A = this chain, B = another copy of it.
Amino acid sequence: MPNLAVRGTVRSTMTPPIPKAQAWIRQFPATASRPLLNLSQGVPGEAPEKIFTDRISELSQDREPANYGSIQGDDGLREAVKEEMGDVYRWNEKGSGGVGVVKEQIAISAGCNQAFYLTMSVLCSEGDEVLIPCPWYFNMLMTFQLLRLKPVPLPLSPSNGFTPSVDQAKSLITPRTRAIALVSPNNPCGTIYPPALLDSFCGLAKESGIALVVDETYRDFVPPSPSRAPGAGDRGKPHDLFDEPDWDETLVSLFSFSKSYKIPGYRLGGIVASRTVLEACRTVADCIQASLRKKNGICPARLPQLALAELLPALRPSLISTSKALASRLKRFEDAISIVPGWQVVSSGGYFSYVKFPDVYGPDVTSERVAERLAIECGVLTLPGCWFMPEREDEGWKSLERMGSELISDRWLRFAIANVSDETVDKIPERLKQLNELYAAGS
C-alpha cells in the first residue's frame, strides 16, 4: 500500500465532468460535410498580435527575462496596467471626476484563477462564507473547496436577464460572510452586469462590512454604451466603482491578460486591491509560485510582463477590434438561434451565450441529457447548465429550491463562441432543428 495517501482538502474538491464531454465527442461520427461543431471552449479564437510576439522574440535575447523579478509584478507592467485601466474605466478623461487606481494597488499574478485563489485565501479563513452567483464558474468552487470556504449560491434570475438580485444577496449575508464574488461579463452566462447593479452590490458589501470581489476577465469585451457621447471611446465602461475615493476599502477587481491579449499560455492575470490586501497576497504568492522571499526575488513569468509593459497602448486597437468581432459573432449567433423553434438566447456577452432549449422537450429532460444528445447525435458540443450548478444532493441545490429559483428547472446550455468561425455559427440552426426532430419523434 503506498504511503502517499492523498489527505488534503483536495480529496473533497470536485472534478468537473469535462471528460464526459470528451467521451460524447468520440461518439459523434464526424465527416467533412458534417463536422463536429465545438462550442465548449472558452479560449481565444486568434493568435496573439504580431507586435507582441515580435517583442517577445527580441526581449528573449536579453538577460532580464531570465531573472527573478518583483513578487507583485514588474513596476513597468503595473504602471502600464494603471494607464490601460484609466482608459477602460475612463478616469483618464478630462472632467471624469474618477479617482482611479495607482500602481501600488495593482499586483500581477500567474493567471486570473491564481488571482482569485490568492484573494480568497487572504480575505477568508476556514468555514467563512462567500456569496457567489449561480450558475457559477466551476474553478471558483474548487478554490472554495480547497480553502474550506462555504460558497453560498446567489441565484441569477432567468426572468431578469441572468442578473443577481441585491435584495436576495442581502438576505443571504450572515456573520460568517466575508465577500460577494461576481463575474462580469459573466462565465458561463455571458451576462454583462449593468454599472448600476455593480454599484448597488458594492454598496451592500460596504454596509455589510464585507468585500466585493469582481472577476473582470472579460472586461474588455463590454460594448460601448449607446448613452455615451460619440467619440468618447470604443469600449464600454464596465462599472463606476473606481470613481469612488475609498473604493479599495470594499472592492477587489481581478483581471486576466489571457483573453484580451489572446495569450493564455503566457499565464498572466492581476489583482487590483488595497495595499493591505496585496501585501498579504504577496506572502501567499511567494509560496505558490516562486523562490526567494524579498521584494525583488519572486515573480510571475517575466518575459510577457516585460513585453506587455511596453505594448499595452499599441495593442489597444487590436483589443477593440477583438471586442467588436466578438460582439458581431454573438449577434450572428443570436440571429442563427432565433430561427430555430423553441430555442432562445437568454443572455450573452464576452465569450459566451446562454441558451434555453425548447420546453417541448419535457420538464424531466436535464440539460446534461440535452447536451449529450446534441453532441453525440447532432455533433454540437456545448456545456450543460447543470455543470455550473450545485449537485442535486448538495446543500446549495436545496437552498436554490427553498428560494424558489427558476434555475432548478435546468433548461440551459452554454455556447462558447470566441474560437468559432462564422461558418461554424451558420451550421448551428440545422443541427438544433435535427435535435428538435429527434425529440419530436420521441426517440
Assess whether A64 is interfacial by the CB under 8 Å rule.
yes
Assess whether A262 is interfacial by the CB under 8 Å rule.
yes
- Closest CB-CB distance, A351 to chain B, in whole Å? 12
Q: Which of chain A's residues 325-356 have a Cβ closer than 8 Å to chain B?
A: none
Closest to A211 in B: B4
Assess whether A68 is interfacial by the CB under 8 Å rule.
yes
Task: Tell which of B48, B209, B291 touches A264, judged by Cβ atoms closer than 8 Å.
Answer: B291
Pick out which of these stretches binds chain B: A82-90, A247-255, A404-412: A247-255
Task: Indicate if the CB atoms of A290 and B125 lie closer than 8 Å.
Answer: no
Note all chain B residues with C-beta closer than 8 A to A178.
7
Task: Indicate if the CB atoms of B294 and A8 lie closer than 8 Å.
Answer: no
| Residue count of chain A within 8 Å CB distance of chain B | 100
Task: Indicate if the CB atoms of B66 and A3 lie closer than 8 Å.
Answer: no
Pick out which of these stretches binds chain B: A50-58, A93-101, A157-165, A362-370: A50-58
Assess whether A320 is interfacial by the CB under 8 Å rule.
no
Task: Bits for A253-292, please: 1 = Cβ < 8 Å to B, else 0.
Answer: 0001010001111110000011011001001101111111
Bound complex: CA A85 to CA B293 (Å): 29
Note all chain B residues with C-beta closer than 8 A to A319.
none
- Closest CB-CB distance, A409 to chain B, in whole Å? 25
- Closest CB-CB distance, A328 to chain B, in whole Å? 23
Task: Tell which of B265, B276, B301 touches A66, judged by Cβ atoms closer than 8 Å.
Answer: B265
Note all chain B residues with C-beta closer than 8 A to A58.
57
Bound complex: CA A280 to CA B117 (Å): 17
- Closest CB-CB distance, A212 to chain B, in whole Å? 8
Bound complex: CA A202 to CA B280 (Å): 36
Assess whether A114 is interfacial by the CB under 8 Å rule.
yes
Bound complex: CA A68 to CA B53 (Å): 16
Task: Tell which of B53, B123, B291, B299 touches A60, judged by Cβ atoms closer than 8 Å.
Answer: B53
Pick out which of these stretches binds chain B: A14-22, A236-244, A425-433: A14-22
Task: Indicate if the CB atoms of A117 and B287 lie closer than 8 Å.
Answer: yes
Task: Indicate if the CB atoms of B53 and A299 lie closer than 8 Å.
Answer: no
Bound complex: CA A292 to CA B111 (Å): 11
Assess whether A443 is interfacial by the CB under 8 Å rule.
no
Q: Which of chain A's residues 106-130 have a Cβ closer than 8 Å to chain B?
A: 110-114, 116-117, 120-126, 128
Assess whether A9 is interfacial by the CB under 8 Å rule.
yes
Note all chain B residues with C-beta closer than 8 A to A142.
283, 286-287, 293
Note all chain B residues with C-beta closer than 8 A to A286.
113, 139, 142
Asked if A19 meets B294 with Cβ closer than 8 Å, knowing A67-B43, A68-B265, the reply is: yes
Note all chain B residues with C-beta closer than 8 A to A7.
122-125, 128, 178
Note all chain B residues with C-beta closer than 8 A to A2.
248-250, 274, 276
Task: Tell which of B110, B121, B123, B250 touches A289, judged by Cβ atoms closer than 8 Å.
Answer: B110
Task: Indicate if the CB atoms of A113 and B287 lie closer than 8 Å.
Answer: yes
Note all chain B residues with C-beta closer than 8 A to A114.
287-290
Task: Indicate if the CB atoms of B248 and A146 lie closer than 8 Å.
Answer: no
- Closest CB-CB distance, A215 to chain B, in whole Å? 11
Task: Indicate if the CB atoms of A301 and B266 lie closer than 8 Å.
Answer: yes
Task: Indicate if the CB atoms of A266 and B3 lie closer than 8 Å.
Answer: no
Bound complex: CA A250 to CA B1 (Å): 10
Note all chain B residues with C-beta closer than 8 A to A249.
1-4
Task: Indicate if the CB atoms of A8 and B291 lie closer than 8 Å.
Answer: no
Given contacts A3-B210, A19-B295, 5 further A-B contacts (CB under 8 A): A4-B273, A8-B121, A9-B121, A53-B66, A139-B291
